[in-house]
Structure 1
Amino acid sequence: MTITRLSTAFLCALTLGAPAYAQSAIDNPECVAPANPGGGFDLTCRVAQTGLQPHVSEPVQVTFMPGGIGAVAFNQFNTNRTDDGSAIVAFSTGSLLNIILGKYGAFDETDVRWLATAGADFGAVVVRADSEFETLSDVMDALSTNPGDVVVGAGGSVGSQDWMKGALLMREAGGTPMQMRYVAFDGGGDAIASLLGGSIEVYTGDVGEMVPYLDSGDMRILATLSPERLDAPFDEIPTAKELGYDVEWTIMRGFYTGKDVSDADYQKWVDAFDAAYATDAFATVQAERGLLPLNMSGDELTSSINTTMDELRTIATEAGLIQ
């Protein structure tokens, strides 16, 4: 089951939209990182701060609003700042999961305006170099016939992004997420150590975190969970989709605004991002921040998120995480 269905804009900078270096007149532009300094939300706002610099009339200021892994900010922009056209808020795919699991309170994805992406990482199916699983098909066959014999592990508990990747594989193999034998770790580093130590057999991690390990020869990436093959150094790795398994996982990073922001103010931000996407400089900013290209804004992003939310709710319901 496909988690996101993205257009070809996914893989390269957009060529349409505002011309490069056109400036949007935004008064006191602000990017709210809904956490303490450091970490993914801070990183996301820094992409906006640096990448949008030539395309907005004033520098983007980064502020911090920690609490509830994004819940405090989500509630703030649904109460006191619903029409603040100068501010954008960082989110991730993890934020979408928190909405589904009710961790953001009564508000849902329809209560904000999804604006633009900063970039993305993609899921990966990883095994030890000497694993009996030579291909993704070997893993899928085992999950289909004896799911309890396949020990899957990752850096996140049940309901987390990494767990969701395994749940999608399990469902594509004809089973249910509840049948998956899953071991949760505190982070990707611990999961990788356990994979190398033999405690788990399959690691459902992220492509980006595998870069330091590609030359060691200790692990093999059987497939990426991207819609199309990625650029080097991952260009020789097939996608699950091309191998016949309709599984994708995009770790999206991006921004939203309050739901009452005017169309004019919203469009200023969209124009700024579209102008940035059309430049090599923005791609450089993404790479420096460890992100792969994922450039969507406005209606395209909103449509993609709506599809993602429907799929995530289905999986969460099947797994008993929500009713």
Structure 2
Amino acid sequence: MAAFSRIVAMALAVAAGAAAAQAAEPTRVIEIIVGASPGGGFDRTARAIERVLEDGIVGQPINVINQPGAGGAVGLASMNRHPGDMHYISITSPNILTDELRGTSPMTFEALTPIATLVSEYLCFAVHADSDLETAADLVAALKEKPEAIRFGFATTPGNHNHVAFAQLAGAVGFDVMKPKTVIFKGASEAVTALLGRHIDFSIAPAASFAEYVRSGDVKCLAVSAPERLGGALSDVPTWTELGYDVVYGPFRGVIGPQGMEPEQIAFWEDALQKMAATDAWKKEVAENYWTENVKGHDETMTFLATERDRLRASLTDLGLLQ
């Protein structure tokens, strides 16, 4: 009888384990909460993920919800109100690290559940097509000779990836990063509009934000912060490295979940995102958005985020945003 009881107990344990594994799949609508307005890097990433995952990978519908504010912190906080619920995910970037370092958000990546890193998104240093700043050399000269006369605009928060890239350029070129007149916009589309209207002299944003305007002849991209030239409409644009300046930086884009996710839930999303990254549809999204593939799973992403936080601490100090 005791042996029979042990067998029954083992069978129940196996069944419970199978049920738990089965439970680690979405059973209803998935929400990707985007902490930024439509049109920017966060939003483009979320909508690309939505399109590819819905095509037979996750088996449930996906909604993209825009909740802009505080450089993405509002969206992350909203997602984190669903602890342990795999139906809520968000897009992450260096903002989660810079906000923590600056003390503008109590959110840390350790308090959430980083799932994967997907791409790097390199940046375009752009001016209006009719600007007197015709080349990267012209921009460098203007920033060195009279930086206070330059109106620089970017989105969305002090210390974000666009601002950090500006600090890298200042360090490489040798100008005071605090002297240009700096305007910070709520979204990338607003920064682009300001550049088109000549309300600012130059801007830094992800390459995809400017590509269509480069193609139409309304904007000139003087240089990109990528290690190699980008393709498409930007194929003729030099890298800063080509021009002799050590400016290589682009925000990572990844997927993060709320606090308290179970290992089985993390494994589901890791597997789904790896399958997504291997599809032709995703590779097309990567090319069209001027991204560079940078796929990492949960464990590697945790290590990467800790290392990146240390690197950003130095950049924010250069910008005068940390003591």
The verdict on a shared fold, with TM-score over 0.5 as the criterion, is yes
What residue is the counterpart of 2:227 in the other structure? 227
Residue 110 of structure 1 and its aligned partner are, at CA, apart by 2.6
TM-score (norm 1): 0.72
- Deviation larger for 241-250 or 188-197: 188-197
Residue identity in the other structure for 1:172: A
Change (3 A) 1:214 1:250: same
Residue 140 of structure 1 and its aligned partner are, at CA, apart by 2.7
Provide the aligned length of Structure 1 versus Structure 2: 297
What residue is the counterpart of 2:257 in the other structure? 257
What residue is the counterpart of 2:99 in the other structure? 98
Give deviations 1:186-222, integer Å, cap 9, x for gaps. 6556655655666543332332122332244343211
What residue is the counterpart of 2:203 in the other structure? 203
Gaps of 5+ in 1: 1-23
TM-score (norm 2): 0.72
Query: What secondary structure does 2:312 align onto?
Result: helix
Higher relative contact order (CA closer than 8 Å, sequence separation 6+): 1
- Once residues 46 and 200 of structure 1 are traced to their aligned partners in structure 2, the CA distance between those partners, rounded to angstroms, is 29
Percent of paired sites with the same residue: 29
Change (3 A) 1:59 1:43: farther
What residue is the counterpart of 2:25 in the other structure? 26
Query: What secondary structure does 1:178 align onto?
Result: coil
- Deviation larger for 262-271 or 231-240: 262-271
Change (3 A) 1:37 1:199: closer
Residue identity in the other structure for 1:242: E
- Once residues 35 and 182 of structure 1 are traced to their aligned partners in structure 2, the CA distance between those partners, rounded to angstroms, is 23
8 Å CA contact 2:162–2:205 kept in 1: the answer is yes
Q: Which has the higher helix share?
A: 2
- Once residues 34 and 190 of structure 2 are traced to their aligned partners in structure 1, the CA distance between those partners, rounded to angstroms, is 26
- Once residues 62 and 194 of structure 1 are traced to their aligned partners in structure 2, the CA distance between those partners, rounded to angstroms, is 30
- Once residues 188 and 89 of structure 2 are traced to their aligned partners in structure 1, the CA distance between those partners, rounded to angstroms, is 29
RMSD across aligned C-alpha pairs, in angstroms? 3.7
Residue identity in the other structure for 2:204: T
Aligned pairs for 1:1-323 (under 5 A) are 26-28=25-27, 30-34=30-34, 43-54=44-55, 56=57, 58-62=59-63, 64=65, 66=67, 68-69=69-70, 70-71=72-73, 74-75=76-77, 81=83, 83-85=84-86, 87-105=88-106, 107-117=107-117, 119=119, 121-156=121-156, 158-185=158-185, 191-192=191-192, 195=195, 200-258=200-258, 260-285=260-285, 290=289, 292-298=291-297, 299-323=299-323
Residue 33 of structure 1 and its aligned partner are, at CA, apart by 0.5
8 Å CA contact 2:53–2:272 kept in 1: the answer is yes
8 Å CA contact 2:82–2:88 kept in 1: the answer is no
Residue 134 of structure 1 and its aligned partner are, at CA, apart by 4.1
